[in-house]
Amino acid sequence: MSEAYGAQVDGTTTRFCVRSPRAGAVQLCLFADGRETRIPMQHDGDDWCASVPQDCTGLRYGYRAEGSWAPERGAWFDPAKLLVDPYAVELDRRFSFDWSLSEFGVDTAALVPRAVVPPALPDVAPAAPRFTPGGLIYELNVRALTRLHPDVPEALRGTVGALAQPAVIAHLKRLHVAAVELMPIVAWIDERHLPALGLANGWGYNPVAPMALDPGLVPGGLAELRATVAALHAAGIGVILDIVLNHTGESDVLGPILSLRGLDDAAYARRPDGTLVNDTGCGNTLDFANPAVRRLALDTLRHFVRRCGVDGFRFDLAPVLARGPGFDPQAPFFAELAADPWLADRVLIAEPWDCGPGGYQLGRFPANWLEWNDRFRDDVRRFWRGDEGLGMLATRLAGSSDIFGEGSGRSINFLAAHDGFTLADCVAYAERHNEANGEGNRDGHGENFSWNNGAEGPSDDPQVGSRRAADLRALLGTLFASTGTIMLTAGDEFGRSQQGNNNAYAQDNALTWIDWERRDRALEDYVAGLAAWRAARTEALARLAGPCEWRRLDGRTMTAADWDDPATTGFELLGEGYAVRVDRARRQMELTPP
């Protein structure tokens, strides 16, 4: 096995190395002055390597692999296909879907992005993560957040560099954001049905090579990401990357041949009976029982820490990382990650479910991992909708000990995320409205525990508007009062709407771009006040320690019977340094000094 994959510049020599166990031959393809130069690579075990006697920094390159064409055996070898280096870190263009990417014998050099040999960057000095559990994580889509921001220079809008702008950082500071969580910023390809609908994937959960930054989001490459992380760190804000290591955008057997598939799909994807396993719902599933797949994943994480200084990662469909094939809480990937000197102290966040058998694994990740707690989301929504009791709300407020155990602090409490209704839409729509996605409104979650307050969608009725405003404040107050880490998705602090679309991945347009000019400033002020309250409570708890007291709204101590009594519509939680008052009958959630 090679010591280093990808393109490595060493003085006047550049070494290229790629893994392709079953290939009969692999060629390095260099692109310069409009010409492609092919260089045969030397076979070394499972690897193919070539040395070029020059500093190739900035040069474009790719690979072509020869071998049998037998998709039923995981062999998609076709020398007509230009392949992206799995270890590429920069590309010269974005991916664009075309059916010829799947057709045998059709040359794709004009279609597939070329990797760019990156400039040498020294490691970022090791430092402890800026984020610690208990703070506020702000989930954001880089393009959607800044595309329409009036205080960001137009040339930077929609890019990672925009996050370093003073206006953006000032907004984050006002909300006491402890870390931003960037939705995928590595290059992805559209799902094959989208171009015909005139749509494009705007979320990025369909990557090809896990380290290759998207040229549209990060036109300045590694240097841009590195500088943005440094600027956010200087403001006391951590950076968490949303990473997709569970599948590639090469999809199912009809999908494009872009990288791993053309190099040797059977060496990367799970296919125990010859059929691609689809535990991800995306057509294929990377095999984390395979040491080479784990190495690619760990090298990816280490790359973003060493070169850019990121504080941690959120893992999409994280049970895949521990499948072999079933979920194993003691999976090798967890142990290898914990033993890595660059990664052991990073913030690790699991989306603790996938689409495969036994895919729901909330509460079963290692003790140092945080987990997205969808039970918090659903139970809190159900409480304020009126179909969940006080006892469950109290459990969620106190950190979900029924799931994570007492005092674990592993819950990430959230009310809405990129996937699903926005928070404002939760109180304005009882049903999903995904017609714009072109799938007959069949896509997206059918049960959202949402309610419309008497009118579906926009309403001029002042009573409907008043109820929605009260419900939003009650929901947000519950989030900020909860024990554990909390997560807010960008724009929910000022009432963004997606017009009832709860699966807006294909809406890279005004439906998802945040309209800063028309935001609900009163709601934004309210959330800023909640953030200040939470920060003050955290400071008080650091100085004071004492038990909480649960009281009825009439001041008497809550009893077991009170928790189960439907007539009990609220409670007070008193602690040292804070107080919380819940009154569902009045649609109120008050956070006050004790």
pLDDT tens series, the chain, 594 aa: 456 999 999 989 999 999 999 999 999 999 999 999 999 999 999 999 999 999 999 999 999 999 999 998 889 999 999 999 999 999 999 999 999 999 999 999 999 999 999 998 899 988 999 999 999 999 999 999 999 999 999 999 999 999 999 999 999 999 999 999 999 999 999 999 999 999 999 999 999 999 999 999 999 999 999 999 999 999 999 999 999 999 999 999 999 999 999 999 888 999 988 899 999 999 999 999 999 999 999 999 999 999 999 999 999 999 999 999 999 999 999 999 999 999 999 999 999 999 999 999 999 999 999 999 999 999 999 999 998 789 999 999 999 999 999 989 999 999 999 999 999 999 999 999 999 999 999 999 989 999 999 999 999 999 999 999 999 999 999 999 999 999 999 999 999 999 999 999 999 999 999 999 999 999 999 999 999 999 998 887 777 667 789 999 999 999 999 998 888 889 999 987 789 999 999 999 999 876
CA 13 to CA 229: how far, in whole Å?
A: 31
Token readout for 548 is: 């909480």
Q: Tokens 């920060």 — which residue?
A: 535
Beta carbons of 590 and 477 less than 8 angstroms apart: yes
Token readout for 460 is: 């001029």
Query: Among 227, 224, 149, which Cα is nearest to 185's?
Result: 224
Task: Give CA torsion, residues 108, 109, 112, 118, to 10 deg.
Answer: 160
Beta carbons of 270 and 277 less than 8 angstroms apart: yes
CA 487 to CA 417: how far, in whole Å?
A: 8
Q: How many CB atoms lie within 10 A of CB 478?
A: 23
Helix (H, G, I), strand (E, B) or coil at 383: helix
Q: Determine the pLDDT at residue 3.
A: 67
CA 59 to CA 227: how far, in whole Å?
A: 23
Q: Which helix (H) or strand (E) holds 531?
A: helix 521-543
Token readout for 263 is: 């190099």
487 pairs with which residues across the strands? 137, 414
**Region for residue 557 given its phi and psi (left: phi exceeds 0; alpha: psi -120 to 50; beta: otherwise):** beta
Cis peptide before 325 (omega within 30 of 0): yes
Helix (H, G, I), strand (E, B) or coil at 133: coil
Beta carbons of 579 and 591 less than 8 angstroms apart: yes
Describe the strand order of the beta sheet including 6-10 as a list of residue ranges.
6-10, 13-19, 47-52, 42-44
Helix (H, G, I), strand (E, B) or coil at 222: helix
Q: Class assignment of domain 6-116?
A: mainly beta
DSSP 275-316: SPP-TTSSS--B-TTSHHHHHHHHHHHHHHHHHH---EEEET
Query: Among 467, 468, 478, which Cα is nearest to 379's?
Result: 478
pTM recorded for the entire structure: 0.97
Beta carbons of 428 and 500 less than 8 angstroms apart: yes
CA 411 to CA 137: how far, in whole Å?
A: 12
Which one from 214, 224, 265, 351 is the annotated catalytic residue?
A: 351
Q: Determine the pLDDT at residue 2.
A: 54
> DSSP strand E in 90-147: where?
115-116, 136-140
Burial status of residue 216 (CB atoms within 10 A of its CB: 0-12, 13-18, 19 or more): middle
CA 446 to CA 455: how far, in whole Å?
A: 19
Domain map of the chain by residue range? 6-116, 549-592
Q: Determine the pLDDT at residue 318.
A: 98
Percent helix, strand and coil across the chain, each to the nearest 5: 30, 20, 50
Q: How far apart are the first and last CA of the chain?
A: 62
Q: Determine the pLDDT at residue 545.
A: 65
Beta carbons of 118 and 8 less than 8 angstroms apart: no
139 is catalytic: no
Query: Among 45, 248, 219, 216, which Cα is nearest to 143's?
Result: 216
Within a 13 Å sphere around the CA of 221, how many CA atoms are in the beta-carbon half? Answer: 15
Beta carbons of 478 and 421 less than 8 angstroms apart: no
Q: Determine the pLDDT at residue 542.
A: 74
Which one from 191, 224, 316, 471 is the annotated catalytic residue?
A: 316
576 is catalytic: no
Beta carbons of 216 and 160 less than 8 angstroms apart: no
Q: How far is CA 349 from the centre of its chain?
A: 10
